[in-house]
Amino acid sequence: MNDVKVSIDIKKIQENSKWFLILGIVLILFGFIGISCSFLVTKVFMTVLSILLMIAGVAQISHVVVSPRWQAGILKLFLGLIYVVAGISFIKNPIEAGIIFTYIIAVFLIVSGILKAIISLNHNYSKEWSIGLFSGVLSVILGIMLLANWPFSGIWFIGFVISLEMIFTGWTYIAFAAGAKNLDPNSSIDINVHED
């Protein structure tokens, strides 16, 4: 294992901080636009996911053709066909695919929330156990809310989450740009990276 030292020049960060600010503002703007038309964002996301599934399926099928003696070839071929069929199905009905994905996400939130809460209650000797419990309860509540409004929630939820993520990322870039002004321009940040 080698340690590699990476040095980040603060002056360069400060010189480029306006671009972080602009990127943050653009992401926030697109995030709010996305929230106002989350149906369309869901549809576009599911369409892009469909294309990626088809590409992955074709790549897996191609791998089987190129490597015919590979032991798991038939399973890889089958998996590739599933990807292609799912991609075609999703691209034909992106909103229905979004509804299905939202259902899966809701069930996942409920199950993972229950597990997080149980784990937190079993680790109540730690001062931070209540954060895990709160996170678990919040996940369960969100999952129940999605299921209670399902299938309608499937039409807007994915687009809403993507748009909300854009807003949070935009605020992060703005905060980064604002914070860069307070750093000493003659200093640098050293980071040790472990290589295997």
pLDDT, tens digit, 9 for 90 and up, residues 73-86? 778 888 888 899 98
Please tell me the distance from the alpha carbon of residue 104 to that of residue 116, in angstroms, as a whole number. 18
| Residue spans per domain, the chain | 35-179
Q: For residues 36 and 2, which has the higher predicted lDDT (pLDDT)? A: 36
What local confidence, expressed as pLDDT, does residue 30 receive?
A: 93
Q: For tokens 């892009």, what's the residue?
A: 48
Q: How many helices (H) and strands (E) does the chain have?
A: 7, 2
Query: In which band, very low, low, confident or very high, does the pLDDT at 135 lie, cut at 50, 70 and 90?
Result: confident
Query: In which band, very low, low, confident or very high, does the pLDDT at 4 lie, cut at 50, 70 and 90?
Result: low
User: Is residue 151 over pLDDT 60?
Assistant: yes
User: Is residue 176 over pLDDT 80?
Assistant: no
Please tell me the distance from the alpha carbon of residue 139 to that of residue 60, in angstroms, as a whole number. 35
What local confidence, expressed as pLDDT, does residue 194 receive?
A: 62
What local confidence, expressed as pLDDT, does residue 112 receive?
A: 87
User: Is residue 6 over pLDDT 60?
Assistant: no
The whole model's pTM is what?
0.65
Which is nearest to 78 in space by CA: 60, 96, 52, 102? 60
Please tell me the distance from the alpha carbon of residue 89 to that of residue 58, in angstroms, as a whole number. 15
User: Is residue 195 over pLDDT 60?
Assistant: yes
The model's pLDDT over 99-122, given as tens digits with 9 standing for 90+, comes to 888 888 889 889 888 888 887 877
Tokens of 193: 């990276």
What local confidence, expressed as pLDDT, does residue 94 receive?
A: 85
User: Is residue 34 over pLDDT 80?
Assistant: yes
Encode burial over 146-179: b for 16+ CB neighbours within 10 A, e otherwise: bbeeeeebbbbbbbbbbbeebbeebeebbeebee
Give the residue-averaged pLDDT of 81-92.
89
User: Is residue 50 over pLDDT 70?
Assistant: yes
